[in-house]
Amino acid sequence: MAKPSTRFCLVGVGRAGMVHARNVTRRIMNAEMTALCDANLDALKQAGDELGVTALYTDYREAVADPCVDAVIIVTPTFLHCPIACAAADRKKHVFLEKPMAITVAECRAINEAASQNGVKLQLGFMRRFSEGFLRAKAILDSGDMGRVMIIKSTGRGPGLPPPWIYDIGKSNGILAEVNSHDFDSVRWLAGSDIVRVYAEAANFKCPDAKSDFPDFYDNALVSLRFANGAIGSIDGTCPAHYGYDARVEVLCERGALFIGSTVKPGFSKVTVDDVTVTGKGTVYADAVQSWRDLFKDAYVSELEHFIACLERDESPSVSGQDGLQAVAAVVAANRSIQSGEPVTVTT
C-alpha cells in the first residue's frame, strides 16, 4: 500500500516559495500541494494556475485552518514568520519555516514554544545542511581525522538588489539575516559549537537610494566570530554582488583544511570556450554561479524529503527551531556590534 501523501499549504508564493512548491508538485514523492496563500491576489492566482491548486487564500489564518492541510511551508518576509508559524502550530499543522526564523530571539522562542505545546514538527530551511559538499565536509570534521577546527570562514553574496523592505533593519535585520543566515548556521554546524561573541563592521556601497530614508542600512558586512569551543571565524556578506551567487566556506583544522564551494559553475571536466577559457597569458575565464536556485537545486529537494520523512516516522527534524534561534541571536548581536562599534556577546 502506498504511503499517504503529506498535504502542504505554501504561505508566500514569491520566487523562493515557488521553488518549494514546484519541488513538492514535481520532484517529491508522498507529497502534494493542496493550498496556497499570499496577500497578492494576482500572484496567488498565477501560482494556482501553474500548480493546479484551487484552494487559494489571502489570509494565512484561513489557510492554516484548512482541514485538508497537514503542514505549512512559510516563505514570507521575515517579520511575518512568527504570527504565521504560531497560528499554524496552534492549528496542529507541522511547520517548515524558511530562514531567517524571525526578527528577534523572543519571536524564535515563541515559535518553538508553540510547536512544542502543540506537538508539531518544526524544521528550518537551512538547505546547505542537505548539500552534498557541506555534508561531506561535516562528516570529515566529525570523524576527527582533521583534528579540531581552528578557523572557519564563510562567504555569502547575493547577485541582485535586495527588496526595498529589507532596507528597514527593524523589519529585516539586514542582509546579515536575509543573505547570511545560512552562513551563521553552517559555521556553527560545521564547527560543532555555538557562536558566543561577534564583532561586525558594515557599509552601504551599492544602494544609494536607501541612504536618506534608511541610514542604518548596509549592503556589505564583515563579522568576526568567537565560538564556545575556542575556534574563531568570520562571515562576509554582500548584496548585490552582481557577478553571481557566491557561497563558499573554508575550514582550517589542526591537520589540514577543507574548502566548500566555488564561484565557478560546477560540473566542468574539460577546458573549452563554452565553459572555462584560458588565454595565452594564462588568464582564466569561467561562468559564475548565477543563482542559489541552481547551486542548491537538489538540496532544496532533500530538505523537504527529510521533513516529510520525519512526519512519517514521528522523528525530530535534524534542523531544529533551536538552530534557527541560534542563527537569529548571532545576527542580532552582529547588528548591535555594527551600531555600537564594539564586540557583542551572543545571548539566547
CA-angle at 181, arms to 342 and 17, nearest 5°: 150
CA 135 to chain centre: 16
Q: How far apart are the first and last CA of the chain?
A: 46
Concatenate the DSSP letters of all residues of 235-277 into one string.
Answer: EEEES--SS--EEEEEEEETTEEEEE--SBPTT--S--TTSEE
pLDDT along the chain (348 residues), means of 10: 82 96 96 97 98 98 98 96 98 98 98 98 97 95 96 94 87 94 98 98 93 94 98 97 91 96 60 47 62 80 98 98 98 98 97
- For 6-127+298-317, CATH number? 3.40.50.720
pLDDT at 293: 64
Helix (H) or strand (E) holding 279: none
Question: Which residue is listed with cell 542582509?
Answer: 175
As a whole number of angstroms, the distance between CA 159 and CA 290 comes to: 7
Neighbours of 254 (CB within 10 A): 9
Helix (H) or strand (E) holding 220: strand 220-227
What residues does CATH 3.40.50.720 cover in the chain?
A: 6-127+298-317
pTM: 0.92
pLDDT at 106: 98
Residues 6+ apart with CB under 8 A from 340: none
pLDDT at 278: 46
pLDDT at 292: 63
As a whole number of angstroms, the distance between CA 15 and CA 294 comes to: 13
Count each helix (H run) and each strand (E run) in the chain, helices first.
12, 15
Say which CATH superfamily domain 129-295+327-345 falls into: Dihydrodipicolinate Reductase; domain 2 (3.30.360.10)
Pairing type for strands 6-11 and 31-37 reads parallel
pLDDT at 102: 98
What residues does CATH 3.30.360.10 cover in the chain?
A: 129-295+327-345
pLDDT at 282: 54
CA 167 to chain centre: 19
